[in-house]
Structures are given as C-alpha cells and as structure tokens.
Structure 1
Amino acid sequence: MPMIQMDRSDDVDVIRALSVDTFAQTFADTNTKEDLDEYFANNLSRDELQREIDDPDSVFLVASVDGEPAGYMKTNIGAAQTEPMGDDSLEIQRLYILRDYKHHGLGTNLMHTAFDMARAQGKTRTWLGVWEHNDPAIAFYKRFGFTRCGSHTFVVGHDRQTDLLMQTPVPARG
C-alpha cells in the first residue's frame, strides 16, 4: 500500500513543477499553447509563487505518494482571498492532482485537510472557483456539499474564461 503524506510546503521549485504540470495536464486540450505559456509566465512564475508562499494568509500543502509529489492545494484567508468573501471564509484557490495519481483519494484527503484548517481557524465557510466547463471537478466539489454562489472571470493568457464560485459551510468534524 502506498504511503500518502500531506505537508505544508515552502519549496517554490516543487510547487512550481506541480503547478505547471497539473494545470497543463488538466487544461492543455482546452487552451492554446500560447495562452498556457503566458499564464505560466505571469501566474505560475517562480517569483509569483514565492510571493504567494511568503504571504502569511496563504498555505500550500503538497500531497506525496511514497515520497513523490503527486498534487497540491493552496488555501487563502483574509486579504489573500481572490474575492472578498469575508473573514469567516477559507478559499481553496488551487487543488490539483497529477494525472497518474488521480482517483486514489488524494483530492479527498486535501479537501478534508482544508475543512480541518478552516475549523481550526474558526471559519464557517469554504469556497472556491472552478472553470464552468470542468465537469469532473464540479462533480467532485458537489460531493462535499459545494453549491454555486456566483461567478468571476479567470484569465488564461488572453482567454477570458468564466469560473463558477462555489461554497459550502465548514462541516462539523466527523
């Protein structure tokens, strides 16, 4: 049985590799190479990710299987949230798993960890944005009680896309 581990990370190189690889695996078929390259250069650059890592209101968690990075999650509170959702909220800004590790419970483990973090910080709501055409992710989030509460624009290169905003009350520990 593989050993699964979740650790807070400030290793910008690991986070950047996971960020670029998982985003490309998830969205390469629906975006141009030029738009992806621009997104990676502007939003997932080493400098930008280091700035995010250094923000005390953001946390990166890396999920590893047998010591190999397999996915990650970034959460935000307070002013680090990408939308002004209030001090009672924790945002899951990114939750991505490498293709070879999908359907092994890593996303579920990361989601439960986000809920644990929210409870520990006294938050009452967890929210996220998800591309309106990412049906597998939307179905995954609905399993945890997330419902639509709005939308916002997400830009990949020059392509303006619509993300659904979804939220759920932080569940009681159980």
Structure 2
Amino acid sequence: MNIELIKVSVSNIIKLQAICVSAYAENFGDHWNENGLELYLESEFSQEKLTANLKNKFLEYYFINLNEECIGFIQANYQANLPEQINNEAAELKKIYMLPNYKGGGIGTSVIKQFIEIVRSKEKKILFLYVIDQNSAAIRFYEKTGFKYHSKTVLDVPFFKEELRGMNCMCMTL
C-alpha cells in the first residue's frame, strides 16, 4: 500500500475541484439544511476560490494518493494561530477529507504522520484543527494520532444543521 501526499498546483485545479466536491459531499452531505450543501460546495470549492487559495503563499493543498489513485485531499494554512495566540508558530489542518470507502484501513493515520513531517519542515511548533464535537469517530482518530482537546467554538455557516455546529479545537505540539 503506497500512500503519498502530493502538493497541488494550479495546473491541477480540475482534479482538485473534483476530489474536493466528491470527498466533502460524500462525508458531510447530510449535515446541511435546504440547499446549504450546494451553496457551500460552490463557495468553498469553485475553481475561482481554489485558484485564489492556491495562489496564496500561506495555503497549500495536497492530494491524498493511494497507489497513485487520488482518494482525498488536505488543505493547510501555514499562517494560522490557535485561539488566543498570535505568535505565528502554528499551522492549521483546515480540511482533510477522504472518500468514505477508504476510511478505517490505516490510510488516515499514515496521511497525518506524513503531514506532520511537512508541517515540521516549515518550522511550525503547533498543529491544530477543528472537528465537529458530535463526530466521535473523528475525535477518537485525532486523539489516536496525537491531538488533544484545546477549546470549543461554534461554526457559523448558513444552513448547517444547528445540532452539528459545535466545534472542538484540537492541537498537538510538534
């Protein structure tokens, strides 16, 4: 099993958009009311938004490849701070989504380990993320890979189901 993180460039925008939309919708499509999913997918994963993000020197995307097949993606922010910190020593794992049929086989653990090495190479001392506080499987996964609870916040996105808006900030020291 060959698992690789491949940094995305603007030339891969069509492939990036396709995996972003598929992986997100297949994992979280039922988290939205009304037409919220469609609005979110357009606002977060339009070619214009993805291109702008790829041109931002502090944001990076990585394809998650399994045996050269793209099965997910990561979005990282290298100019992020934990709540109440402003020392620019942290990186945020903004998004990590894999197609659902690839979950549970150790791929995610390998991906997190590889990503931690990328973050370390950028001389960051803290890695953090936000996870829905009702998503106990994801929380257990992040705890297993070394993340610890840091704080709580609320997701403020239109049409996202009210009962799923609680978010845990989790972090690890590198």
- TM interval, short-chain normalised: 0.7 to 0.9
Read off the aligned partner of 1:95 and give its amino acid letter.
Answer: I
User: What amino acid is the match of 2:146?
Assistant: G
Matched, 1:68 2:87: no
Structure 1 segment 29-48 matched on structure 2, within 5 A: 29-32=30-33, 34-48=35-49
Shift of 1:109: 2.0
* Structure 1 counterpart of 2:15: 14
Deviations 1:4-40 (A, max 9, x none): 3321112222221111111111112332351101111
Q: Which runs of 4+ in 1 moved over 4 A?
A: 81-85
Q: How far off is 1:84 after superposition?
A: 7.2
Q: CA distance change for structure 1 residues 114 and 65 in 2, over 3 Å: closer, same or farther? A: closer
- Cα gap change, 1:136 to 1:155, in 2 (>3 Å): same
TM-score of the two chains, using structure 2 as the length reference: 0.85
* Contact 1:38/1:156 (8 A) holds in 2: no
1:162 to 158, 163, 166: 166
Change (3 A) 1:82 1:93: farther
Deviation at 1:89, TM superposition (A): 0.5
Once structures 1 and 2 are overlaid, which stretch shifts more, 29-38 or 67-76? 29-38
Kindly provide the amino acid, as one letter, of the partner of residue 138 in structure 1. Answer: I
Secondary structure of the structure 2 residue equivalent to 1:77? strand
The answer for unaligned runs of 5 or more in structure 1 is none
SS at match of 1:141: helix
The size of the alignment, in residue pairs, is 168
Counterparts of 2:95 and 2:16, CA distance in 1: 11
> CA, structure 1 residues 82+59, in 2 after alignment: closer, same or farther (shift >3 Å)?
farther
Letter in 1 for 2:70: P
